[in-house]
Amino acid sequence: MTAGGWLEILLFLAVLTALTPVMGGYLAGVFRGEVTQLAGVERVAYRGLGVDPARGQDWKGYARSVLVFSVAGSVLLYVIVRAQGATWDLTFNTTASFVTNTNWQFYAGETTLSHFAQMAGLAVQNFLSAGTGIAVLVAFVRGLASRSGKEIGVFYVDLVRTILYVLLPLSVVIGLMLVSQGVIQSLSAGPVASQEAIKMLGTNGGGFFNVNSAHPYENPTWLSNFVEMLAILIIPASLTAMYGRMVDNRRQGWMVFGAMMALFVVAVVLIYLSEAGPTPAMHAAGLGGDNLEGKEMRFGIGSSALFAAVTTAASCGAVNAAMESFSGLGGAIPMAQMMTGEVIWGGVGSGLYSMLLFVILGVFIAGLMVGRTPEFLGKKIEAREIKLTIIGTIAVPMMVLVATALAIGSKWGAPSIYDSGPQGFSETLYAYTSQGNNNGSAFAGYTGYLQPNGTNRGAFGISFADVLGGLTMLGGRFIPMLAVLAVAGSLAGKRVAPVGLGTLRTDTPTFAVVLIAVVLIVALLTFVPALLLGPVVQGFSDGLY
């Protein structure tokens, strides 16, 4: 650990906090329709799509558009990837991976796919899956805020505006900034910077190169690394401020921001502490010093730890160091962050809407404790909303545990495992946690695809891992998303009760503490036994396996 490392962490948190209200204000403007510089382009787009921006959709209409659009995107992506000669199972996994904003990579970017497939297939879904997540969040917030009617917006309008006013312009700026640092952008060597920018901004995470942002051509300098980390969190963080503005109570936004930040800071500090010092394997080899195995010198353990925390908190999944080589506890913390359901910032849109489900759950639990009808933003939370909220918060942890158990308990999971002993279990748990929560980072020894010449066995997909992983990603994306839209629909028409003395306020530090407790108890506690079996065993033992 160095003073420079701590300073970088502080600087990062300060810049992120400072940008949040600025960017949040802009996002609120975009989704209230106040930003209109490109109205002409929008009009052309809506006419071409046959969408009437004035005709709002109810939650079912909105959900239908989201689903049909995702299916259409999947079909095209499947065709593009399959045409590269990838096996059907690997193609299914990769398609599910990119349409769900996960970007889990069983394929190896530079060896499996052509530049065209990366550009026109994967990078397009980087934009679209991110845009879809943000659109759904905006629809949800409208449902929370609306005073009458059942309408929560128009999906294609939200999508077009997200891409036109947010994702595309920011990608251009960040992409050029990255090229200036040495990220490549050429027809022969690869369109890396353009893909890198949206990979970060959209919390996607699928690298152009197999080693992702550890590759000097994806992430060449300290500054490029800082920009990439900021690009990951800027939108998820700013969405909290946007939410506050859209419900006319900025403190609501800061409450959520505060809860996320508190959990995040703990994670960063713990990972940094865990990586300072040798691992058991280094001990055995007589080596002292920091755990630099699987890390790049230009980042050191400071920027590697911060990046690991950023990427697993947001459901990005890009990595600038080998997650599998982190110390036992250093690897447990990223896993734990994903296990919260990706609500510590989380994916663009999906992070905040999942967190707002926890807010509703918090309101319900706190309301029961003080013996009051639970209310959120003046709207009564009733049986229907709670049922949907439970589905939205519990479905993913359950899928992750079942999938991990299937992979560990059956013989079909074994071929995917690379390391022996508890690390093999950690690989499996990490794989399904990451896929279920749409993160995409990996203990990369875990494999669903054998590379040509990688072994003597030739190239083929491991169907079990590809299919189970693909289904976990699809469930992890669309079950909470539909639950969220249904809650939005159910809250949209509700009468707003005036704030009184008896109102349980949700914009206070006290409630932020309640929210943190709910996240830890409901999501994380579910996984404690599983965490103990793998990374924690390793973290507390000096044994070799």
User: Contact with other proteins (CB under 8 A): which of 9, 141, 144, 211?
Assistant: 211
Angle at 345 between CA 260 and CA 175, to 5 degrees: 140
Q: CB of residue 170 vs other proteins: minimum separation in angstroms? A: 12
Contacts of 111 (CB under 8 A, 6+ apart): 210, 451, 452
Contact of 429 with 530, CB cutoff 8 Å: yes
Which of these, 70, 182, 192, 186, lies nearest to 135 by C-alpha position? 70
| Number of neighbouring beta carbons within 10 Å of residue 507 | 18
Beta carbon nearer to other proteins, 161 or 250: 161
Spatial distance between the Cα atoms of 524 and 456, rounded to a whole number of angstroms: 40
Q: What does the radius of gyration of the chain's CA atoms come to, in whole angstroms?
A: 22
Q: CB of residue 196 vs other proteins: minimum separation in angstroms? A: 10
Regarding 349 and contact with other proteins (CB under 8 A), the answer is no
Q: Which of residues 293-322 bind other proteins (CB under 8 A)?
A: 293-298, 300, 319-322
Q: Which of residues 9-48 bind other proteins (CB under 8 A)?
A: 45, 48
Q: Tokens 């083929």 — which residue?
A: 460
Binding mask 266-295 for other proteins (x = CB under 8 A): ------------xxxxx-xxxxxxxxxxxx
Beta carbon nearer to other proteins, 445 or 476: 445
Spatial distance between the Cα atoms of 104 and 386, rounded to a whole number of angstroms: 31
Beta carbon nearer to other proteins, 502 or 543: 543
Which of these, 356, 384, 390, lies nearest to 506 by C-alpha position? 356
Q: CB of residue 441 vs other proteins: minimum separation in angstroms? A: 12
Q: Which of residues 115-144 bind other proteins (CB under 8 A)?
A: 119-121, 123-124, 127-128
Binding mask 183-202 for other proteins (x = CB under 8 A): -xxxxxx-x-xxx-------
Q: CB of residue 471 vs other proteins: minimum separation in angstroms? A: 22
Q: CB of residue 178 vs other proteins: minimum separation in angstroms? A: 9
Is residue 460 helix, strand or coil? strand
DSSP string, 243-269: HHHHTT-HHHHHHHHHHHHHHHHHHHH
Query: Would you state the structure tokens that stand for residue 88, as one six-digit string?
Result: 């059907």
Beta carbon nearer to other proteins, 233 or 301: 301
Which of these, 489, 490, 493, lies nearest to 62 by C-alpha position? 489
Which one of 9-17, 208-216, 235-243, 388-396 is the stretch in contact with other proteins (CB under 8 A)?
A: 208-216
Query: Would you state the structure tokens that stand for residue 156, as one six-digit string?
Result: 């294609």
Q: Tokens 């995409």 — which residue?
A: 440
User: Contact with other proteins (CB under 8 A): which of 163, 309, 339, 348?
Assistant: 163
User: Contact with other proteins (CB under 8 A): which of 91, 93, 94, 171?
Assistant: 171
Spatial distance between the Cα atoms of 79 and 74, rounded to a whole number of angstroms: 9
Beta carbon nearer to other proteins, 217 or 390: 217
User: Contact with other proteins (CB under 8 A): which of 272, 432, 443, 449?
Assistant: 443
Beta carbon nearer to other proteins, 115 or 251: 115
Contact of 480 with 392, CB cutoff 8 Å: yes
User: Contact with other proteins (CB under 8 A): which of 12, 16, 65, 376?
Assistant: 65
Beta carbon nearer to other proteins, 222 or 412: 222
Is residue 492 helix, strand or coil? helix
Is residue 89 helix, strand or coil? helix
CA 105 remoteness from chain centre: 14
Binding mask 482-511 for other proteins (x = CB under 8 A): ------------------------------
Beta carbon nearer to other proteins, 100 or 171: 171
Give per-residue burial for 86-106: e unless 16+ CB within 10 Å, then b: bbebbbbbbbbbbbbbbbbbb
Beta carbon nearer to other proteins, 6 or 513: 6
Q: How far is CA 344 from CA 259, 433, 520, in A?
A: 8, 15, 11
Q: Which of residues 362-421 bind other proteins (CB under 8 A)?
A: 418-421
Number of residues lying near other proteins (CB under 8 A):
101
Q: CB of residue 444 vs other proteins: minimum separation in angstroms? A: 5
Regarding 209 and contact with other proteins (CB under 8 A), the answer is yes
Regarding 445 and contact with other proteins (CB under 8 A), the answer is yes
Q: Which of residues 454-483 bind other proteins (CB under 8 A)?
A: none
Which one of 83-91, 133-141, 203-211, 391-399 is the stretch in contact with other proteins (CB under 8 A)?
A: 203-211
Which of these, 302, 300, 323, lies nearest to 311 by C-alpha position? 323
**3-31 and 155-162 are packed helices; what angle lies between their axes, rounded to 10 degrees?**
140
Beta carbon nearer to other proteins, 28 or 232: 232
Beta carbon nearer to other proteins, 426 or 506: 426
User: Contact with other proteins (CB under 8 A): which of 210, 463, 508, 526?
Assistant: 210
